């Protein structure tokens, strides 16, 4: 169904410069935007070129932007592993946030379809990020806190920032208790360090999609469940979760309304300067002992941050550069305070 003119807001998930767009009918009529900008849609009469303006812009003149459908097609054509199959009854006048075309992805090695999805909007922010429809949300006193997801490369200081937040107010912030199948050690209590479960139950829970993430270590499984997030939120606490960025798309639901913070390293030079006496717990080290950072660690951190940002940057609500820990912490704290009191743009699907 076409939306009422001017009532639809979208978040741009890519950068757009009409001057570099060979397809636009008139470059001067185009509207440039950056990833993360909120745009107000003024008209969707044309299936290829929508008219939009920047949210809050007093200038009544709208500019042209590529429609969601058109932009998805252009992106998909640049990615050969994604195949486009036009729908038989595709409705050219649809808002673009309904069905537009089917995607099926071929696995490069087996040439088998890995999945076929009937609704292109399942790809809004995952495989072909173009735009997502958003609306304003402000947490009401009786609402659960939004889940706060922290992502960042190994060694960037994410755990230190999380620890500082936790000890600043243990009544207000909470973290999940992971599950494991390894035997409980004498000093450990069930439900404190870990929730200890059998391998059979763990595997069943994996089958039933109960885990946000899981891994295997020395023949035992470890993982973080959706229920462990729910139990922190049920205590009326802000749940701090650090995960790999690829898991974020599964958490983007009405229930969790995640706010995603990317902790980014500073420049290579600043890393060398500020971390020369610091230590890192290397992911390659079996015992988890801390060692001084090496040049390789710094390079790896920068590279990994770059990959995270380019692949998942459209899912980040806030980027904090951890140059100096105290400054990054204070920026983080301010972000949390704002989150609880201010209005934010969230996907419309989170409001129903």
Q: Compute the least distance from the CB of residue 107 to ligand 5GP, in Å.
A: 24
As measured in angstroms, the least distance from the Cβ of 175 to ligand 5GP is: 11
Phi/psi of residue 75, each to 5°? -65, -45
Neighbours of 27 (CB within 10 A): 13
The two structure tokens encoding residue 85? 């199959």
Name the residue nearer to ligand 5GP (CB basis): 229 or 301: 229
CB 240 within 8 A of CB 256: no
State the nearest-atom distance from the C-beta of 188 to ligand 5GP, in Å: 8
Q: How far apart are CA 240 and CA 263, in angstroms?
A: 13
Minimum distance from CB of 184 to ligand 5GP (Å)? 10
**Residue labelled with tokens 């932007």:** 65
* Residue 318 CB burial class (10 angstroms; 0-12, 13-18, ≥19): middle
Q: Cα dist. 193→176, 185, 222, 286 in Å?
A: 10, 10, 12, 19
Nearest residue (CB) to ligand 5GP, 129 versus 223: 223
Residue with Cβ nearer ligand 5GP (76 or 147)? 147
Q: Of all helices (H) and strands (E), which one includes residue 211?
A: strand 211-217
Closer residue to ligand 5GP (CB): 96 or 258? 258
- Count the Cβ atoms, other than its own, within 10 Å of residue 95: 18
Residue 295 belongs to what H/E stretch? helix 295-312
Q: Which residues bind ligand 5GP (CB under 6 A)?
A: 178, 182, 213-215, 217, 222-224, 288
Q: Is 122 or 204 the residue whose CB approaches ligand 5GP more closely?
A: 204
CB of 281 to ligand 5GP, least distance (A): 9
Euclidean distance between the first and final Cα of the chain, in Å?
17
Dist. CA 134–CA 232, nearest whole Å = 27
Do 151 and 260 contact (CB within 8 A), yes or no?
yes
What would the two tokens of residue 37 be?
Answer: 């900008």
Task: Give whichever of 100 and 224 is closer to ligand 5GP, judged by the CB atom.
Answer: 224
Tell me, what DSSP letter sits at residue 303? Answer: H
Cβ-based nearer residue to ligand 5GP, 67 or 176: 176
Nearest in space to 8 (alpha carbons), one of 110, 132, 105: 132
Residue 54 near residue 36, CB atoms below 8 Å: no
CB of 300 to ligand 5GP, least distance (A): 18
**Smaller CB separation from ligand 5GP, 89 or 198:** 198
DSSP lists the bridge partners of residue 225 as 211
Least distance to ligand 5GP, CB of residue 206, Å: 12
Q: How far is the CB of 178 from ligand 5GP (least distance, A)?
A: 3
């Amino acid at each position: 169904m076409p939306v009422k003119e001017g009532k639809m807001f979208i978040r741009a998930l890519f950068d757009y410069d009409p001057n570099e767009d060979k397809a636009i009918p008139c470059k001067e009529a185009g509207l440039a935007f950056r990833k993360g900008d909120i745009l107000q849609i003024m008209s969707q009469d044309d299936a290829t070129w929508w008219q939009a303006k920047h949210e809050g812009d007093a200038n009544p003149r709208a500019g042209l932007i590529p429609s969601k459908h058109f932009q998805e097609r252009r992106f998909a054509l640049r990615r050969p592993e994604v195949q486009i199959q036009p729908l038989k009854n595709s409705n050219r006048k649809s808002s673009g946030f309904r069905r537009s075309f089917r995607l099926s992805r071929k696995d490069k090695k087996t040439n088998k379809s890995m999945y076929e999805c009937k609704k292109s909007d399942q790809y809004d922010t995952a495989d072909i990020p173009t735009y997502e429809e958003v609306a304003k949300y402000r947490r009401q006193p009786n609402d659960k806190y939004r889940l706060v997801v922290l992502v960042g490369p190994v060694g960037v200081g994410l755990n230190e920032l999380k620890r500082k937040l936790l000890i600043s107010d243990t009544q207000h912030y909470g973290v999940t208790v992971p599950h494991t199948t390894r035997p409980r050690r004498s000093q450990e209590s069930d439900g404190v360090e870990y929730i200890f479960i059998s391998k059979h139950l763990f595997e069943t829970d994996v089958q039933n999609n109960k885990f946000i993430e899981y891994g295997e270590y020395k023949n035992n499984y470890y993982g973080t469940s959706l229920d462990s997030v729910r139990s922190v939120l049920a205590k009326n606490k802000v749940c701090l979760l650090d995960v790999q960025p690829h898991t974020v798309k599964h958490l983007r639901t009405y229930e969790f309304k995640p706010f995603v913070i990317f902790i980014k390293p500073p420049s290579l030079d600043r890393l060398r300067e500020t971390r020369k006496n610091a230590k890192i717990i290397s992911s390659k080290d079996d015992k988890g002992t801390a060692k001084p950072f090496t040049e390789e660690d710094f390079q790896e951190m920068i590279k990994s941050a770059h990959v995270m940002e380019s692949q998942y940057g459209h899912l980040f609500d806030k980027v904090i550069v951890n140059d100096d820990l105290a400054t990054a912490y204070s920026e983080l704290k301010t972000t949390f305070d704002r989150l609880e009191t201010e209005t934010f743009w969230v996907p419309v699907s989170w409001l129903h």
